Amino acid sequence: MSIINKIMRDYDQNQPVAAMSDELTSPLMQEKEYIRPRIDHLRDYSIGIRFLNLGAVVTVGCKEIAFTSIEEAMKELNAYVANPRELEKKYNELFNKQQ
């Protein structure tokens, strides 16, 4: 019997709501932390690359990050595409320290 059916049955029988509180706080009813899919993180911000004579500037959303070599820029960009959640944390911490 689903929890909704049980609640409705118990409500119809005028059973006190407090008696059902244990069922509503059971581990099955507790929400798990929602983790957004990787593609949703990637869709949040536009990404641009501007190649320079020495290095590159990568733009993610409104932030620009300068790299001294193209290889370093591509390494970080590939890491971002592979796991945007972790790199967002890393760079947000760096940006927040500088503000």
pLDDT, tens digit (0-9, with 9 covering 90-100), for 64-83: 999 999 999 999 999 999 99
State whether 48 and 24 are in the same domain: no
State whether 19 and 60 are in the same domain: no
Using 50, 70 and 90 to split pLDDT, how confident is the model at 6?
low
CB atoms within 10 A of CB 56: 20
Q: Are 3 and 29 in contact (CB under 8 A)?
A: yes
State residue 29's pLDDT score: 56
The two structure tokens encoding residue 87: 């790199």
State whether 42 and 14 are in the same domain: no
CA distance readout (Å), 54 to 51, 58, 69, 70: 8, 13, 6, 8
Count the domains in the chain.
2
State whether 56 and 76 are in the same domain: yes
Please state, in angstroms and rounded to a whole number, the distance separating the CA atoms of residues 39 and 84: 9
State whether 63 and 19 are in the same domain: no
Residue range(s) defining the domain that contains residue 91: 38-98
State whether 25 and 42 are in the same domain: no
Tens of pLDDT along 22-46?
555 555 556 678 888 989 888 999 9
State whether 45 and 93 are in the same domain: yes
Which pTM does this prediction carry? Answer: 0.61
